[in-house]
Structures are given as structure tokens and as C-alpha cells.
Copies of this chain bind each other. A is one copy, B any other.
């Protein structure tokens, strides 16, 4: 059983539907590579020998406009490739059962040229019958781990991540190792499932951004502010002549931060090559780090980014810290937009985005 971390549901101002500009940047910058993979690498005749239906899945689709524009782009490239012999398209929108499929379905484009389906379930497991998928697409999703490794929740463990909420910023290498180990386990399950489901010659594209999620550290520091603020000064405590127990006076108990780790791991080219080769059912047609140069670098953009990440992370935060602390952590992080903007301006050129095109052997 995997844990699920749905994006904010519905379409209100803090919903993911209304706040997915970051993920749009990722998609836009990968567009040409997606088209190229379809036009140059996909061998259609092999796959559709006995049917005229081309079956596509969007893994980790969430809700909002990005999933539809990504699928529209894929269908257009396929039509360009098929030219005079265009098949019927069947698109399977996949995400956890906790995803807001009602909103997804109600926002399906009216003029779509494909049959649309919802597929509830974790992609860390089987979703489709054997050899039933021709093309799988997965953008800003593959970095989600199925869970946080159990040992990270044990304060006696070497991978105990004190005062932080992610491996980014952690000086303890065991923290990173624990994330990598979980990523490799998850990818083993992921690739085993896809190897069964994708037809020989079928294609899978994975797109994984890295910059935006490094912004996690700003949320971590907001949480630690809530821990440290209002704590009694130690010298004041020491001035008492009798031993007195002073509980933490911060709004948030540090132990709650220590036991919280955001379950996302951003794989390198080496990480991905390793898991694909271990699985041994897919050939790597293209793998590279690109530099999309985010346009979201000004202070107003920093606010947009933070509201965007709030739509992604809010469920996770509320689940662990409760609604009040989660709200305060998000509000405080958005107030740091000048600091975040400064950080973005330094880092946006280094921004890396992983693009992988795979073909089922």
C-alpha cells in the first residue's frame, strides 16, 4: 500500500487547478523533445498491427490545464506522424484514488479528439492489462516517492533528519542515502509494472524538474521559525535556582519537524540510467539534463511560485502538522518572496530538468 499526496482539489484560489505555472514551464520547455521523440523514434506499424486504436496514458496527471495541454501536444505530434492514417486515440488519465477526478472530468476539453478515461491508482503498481499501452507520459510526477523510509522516522537511526524536511540542505549523507534507496525500490516496482503494460516498441517519456522543488528549503525554514519563536531564552531558564521543567514555548514542537520529510527525490541521469538498466526491458533513446531557465524570477513570481508549491504540498503539511500550523508556515513562506526572488535570480540559470525517452524492447 503506497501513501498518496494529492494536489489541492477543486478550483478555488489555492487549488492546484489554478496554481500550476511551475509545472507548465516544465512542460513547455520539454515540448520540442516530446515531439521529436514521437516523430523520430516511434515505430507505429509494429504496434498497431491488429487494431486502429492508439492508447496513451498520462501518469500522475493531477488536475488543471497542464495535463490536457500535454496530451493535446502528444496527440498533435502523433497525428503529424500518422498523416493520412490517423488512428483513434484513447487517453488514460492516471493518478491516486485521492486525486480530484471530479474536477478533472468536468474540465476535460469539449473539442478533444480522443476518448478520455480516468485510472485511479498508484503508478507504483499495476494499472493496465499486459501490452495495452502504446505511449506513456509522466511529467513532474516521477520524483514522488511511495513513502518515506521507515528508518527515517526513528530518532536513533543514522538517517534521522533533525530540523530539516528534506535531503536538500542536509549535511548528513545517510539522509540522502535513505531517499535514494527508497527511490530505487519505487522505480523497480514502477518499471516492472510499465514493462508489462507497454507494448513492444511502445514509448515512455519521463520529465522531471529540479529547480522548483529545491524551494522546499524555504518551507523548512518557516517551520523552524515556528519552532524557535517564543522559546524561552536559555539564560533565563538557567537563572532559576531550582530545577524547573520548561516545555518548548514555540508554536510548533521541533519533534514534529524532525519526523517530517517531504517524500520527493530528484533523480540524476546516473540514478535513472541505473534503474532503467536494472529493469532491462527498455532502451534509453534519449536522456539529458536541460536548462529551461525559469521565467519566474521576480518578486511577484516568487509569490506565484510559493502559492504553486502550496497547492502541491498543503495536503501533506496539513496531514502532519494540522491545518493551523500548515497555514502559518505557508503564509510566512510567501512573505519571504524578496529572499526567494534573490535566490531564484542566482539559481535559475543552473536550473536542471531531466528528460528521458524510453522504448520498450
With both chains docked as a complex, state the minimum distance between the C-beta of A302 and any C-beta of chain B, in angstroms: 33
- Name A93's closest neighbour in chain B (CB-CB): B118
Bitwise, A1-18 to B at CB < 8 A (1) or not (0) is 000000000000000000
Q: A97-B106, A105-B118 are in contact. List 15 more A-B contacts (CB 8 A).
A: A50-B50, A51-B131, A88-B129, A90-B132, A97-B108, A100-B102, A101-B101, A102-B102, A108-B120, A115-B119, A115-B127, A115-B128, A116-B121, A118-B118, A118-B119
From residue 69 to 108 of chain A, which have CB atoms closer than 8 A to chain B?
88, 90, 92, 97-98, 100-102, 105-106, 108
Q: How far is the CA of A98 from the CA of B103 in the complex (A)?
A: 9
Contact A129 B97 (CB under 8 A): no
- Name A106's closest neighbour in chain B (CB-CB): B97
Q: Would you call A52 an interface residue if the criterion is a C-beta within 8 Å of the partner chain's C-beta atoms?
A: yes
Q: Would you call A130 an interface residue if the criterion is a C-beta within 8 Å of the partner chain's C-beta atoms?
A: yes
- Neighbouring B residues of A121 by C-beta, 8 Å: 116
With both chains docked as a complex, state the minimum distance between the C-beta of A104 and any C-beta of chain B, in angstroms: 9
- Neighbouring B residues of A101 by C-beta, 8 Å: 101-102, 105, 118
Contact B97 A105 (CB under 8 A): yes
Between A and B, 7 residue pairs with Cβ closer than 8 Å are: A51-B131, A53-B129, A90-B129, A108-B120, A115-B119, A115-B127, A116-B119
With both chains docked as a complex, state the minimum distance between the C-beta of A157 and any C-beta of chain B, in angstroms: 31
From residue 114 to 162 of chain A, which have CB atoms closer than 8 A to chain B?
115-121, 126-132
- Neighbouring B residues of A128 by C-beta, 8 Å: 90, 115
Number of interface residues of A (CB under 8 A): 29
Q: How far is the CA of A127 from the CA of B98 in the complex (A)?
A: 24
- Name A197's closest neighbour in chain B (CB-CB): B115
- Name A92's closest neighbour in chain B (CB-CB): B117
- Name A116's closest neighbour in chain B (CB-CB): B120
Q: How far is the CA of A132 from the CA of B115 in the complex (A)?
A: 12
With both chains docked as a complex, state the minimum distance between the C-beta of A63 and any C-beta of chain B, in angstroms: 11
- Neighbouring B residues of A116 by C-beta, 8 Å: 119-121
- Neighbouring B residues of A90 by C-beta, 8 Å: 128-129, 132
With both chains docked as a complex, state the minimum distance between the C-beta of A39 and any C-beta of chain B, in angstroms: 23
- Neighbouring B residues of A118 by C-beta, 8 Å: 101, 105, 117-120
